[in-house]
Every structure is written in C-alpha cells, then in structure tokens.
Amino acid sequence: MPVNAFPGGPVLHVDGRRELSAELTHAVAAFCDEAESTGADFATLYLSGAPSHEVVAKVSDVAAVTKWERAVRRLERLRLPTLAAASGECGGAALDLLLATDIRVATPDLLLLLPLHEQGTWPGMAGFRLVQQLGLASARRTVLFGRPITAREALDRCLVDQVSTDPGRTLAAAARLLRRLSGPELAIRRQLAFDAQWMSFEDALGPHLAACDRALRRTRTPDEVSA
C-alpha cells in the first residue's frame, strides 16, 4: 500500500484482495495525515482487487472493523478533493474507499463486488453507502445478494464519473480542473449534499445560508466587506 508523490498531493495504492488489518487502517490514516498536513490540492487513490471468502473470514474482531470504518469516514470528510481510479474486481477495502471519494474513474473491466461472509454479504458500511448513493431499489440486489456491478452499470448509475482505458491520464486531467477549486469550499458543499439526504428544508436552510454568506464574503474586496 505505497503512498507515492503525485503532482498536487499524495497517492495511495490499495489492493482489495488483502485482509482488513491494522496495517491497512494505519495506511489510510497516514494518507489522510499527509494530505491535510502538506497543504495538498487533492488526494488520489488507485484501487483494485476483491477479497475471497477465506480472506473476509480472517477479520479479527469488531474493534478492528470499527477502526477501519473510522479511517474511511475520515477520508470521506477530508477538507480537500479526493480522486480514485478503480480497475478490475473491486471489493472489500477497495470498494469502501472508492465509495468515499469525490471523483471516480473506472477501467472498462471494473466489477464492483460486495464481499461475501459465511452468512451472506458483508454487512459493512459499503452497503450503507451503496443505498445512499443508488437508492434502495437500485442497490437492493447487490446489498442483499451480492450481485456485481459492472463498469457500464456504475457509470449509468453515477457510482463512477468516467470509464477510461487510461485512468492515470484521466485523473491528471481532473486534477488540473480541481486546482481551480478551494478544498475547504468543496468540503462545505460535500457536507451540504450529505445533509440534504436526511435534513428537512427548515433545518438545512441555516447551513446553506451560512455557506452563501461565506461565498459572498470570499468574493468581496476588503472595502466592500468593511462597508
């Protein structure tokens, strides 16, 4: 799971075939630390691989799962844009991380797989994110029965933003566009979008107005603000 330099921010490679471990959780946490402490423009992940039934069965205990889910949640809430390239079979840790990123590029052979445990699909937060992002009707067969999602289906359902035979180049082009955006501003809009899934209009109005006020203040000159 090396973290490599990438123009504008760190890069993390994750192999979803590996078992959930303290090493993997630490790698994601260190990746987030680097992204936030170095003033990066964005953070990039390369994801592939899905765990076998035997690998899923090696999960030690729920404490390890809790630490992992917290690391993924931290990635999901970074105050800078996150990009991901996913290829081939993508499940387990790779799927968890993909569903927590902002911009997602897939190779044509992508196959999203919810891991299978002895009693059925693994009941981790990937299922929660799939329902949030697809809706219950579209996610039902994957969450309940483990039906794979192909690259074309993922694109049609907006789980990925683009299918490319050269994901590295596609991500580089996206990164150039992202440099025009402010990381904190994107994080605010991401949170507003998250909240829109459950907040009432009345509860959401205040945060949206605060964000509007922040946007207006950032575009005014010092003289306009003092006036």
Strands 103-106 and 162-163: parallel
Whole-model pTM? Answer: 0.87
From the list 14, 37, 22, the residue with the least C-alpha distance to 91 is 14
Q: Are residues 127 and 52 in the same domain?
A: yes
The boundaries of the domain holding residue 120 are: 3-178
188 band by pLDDT with thresholds 50, 70 and 90 = confident
Residues 214, 111: one domain?
no
SS3 of 161, please? coil
| One domain for residues 207 and 129 | no
- Assess whether 17 and 33 both reside in one domain: yes
Same domain, 97 and 206: no
Mark whether 117 and 212 lie in a shared domain: no
Q: Percentage of the chain with pLDDT > 90?
A: 62
- Strand, coil or helix: 222: helix
132 and 36 together in one domain: yes
7 and 70 share one domain: yes
Number of domains in the chain: 2
Question: Counting every residue, how long is the chain?
Answer: 227
Integer-rounded Cα radius of gyration of the chain = 19
Q: 58-71 pLDDT, tens per residue? A: 887 899 999 999 99
Residue 84 CA to residue 93 CA, distance in Å, equals 13
Residues 113, 191: one domain?
A: no
In the chain, alpha helices (H)? 22-37, 53-56, 62-76, 93-98, 125-134, 136-145, 151-156, 167-178, 183-195, 201-219, 222-226
Instruction: Output the domain CATH number for residue 78.
Output: 3.90.226.10
How confident is residue 5, by pLDDT bands cut at 50, 70 and 90? very low
User: What rounded mean pLDDT belongs to the chain?
Assistant: 89
Indicate the Cα dihedral angle 30, 32, 33, 38, nearest 10°.
120
Within this chain, do residues 62 and 90 fall inside the same structural domain, yes or no?
Answer: yes
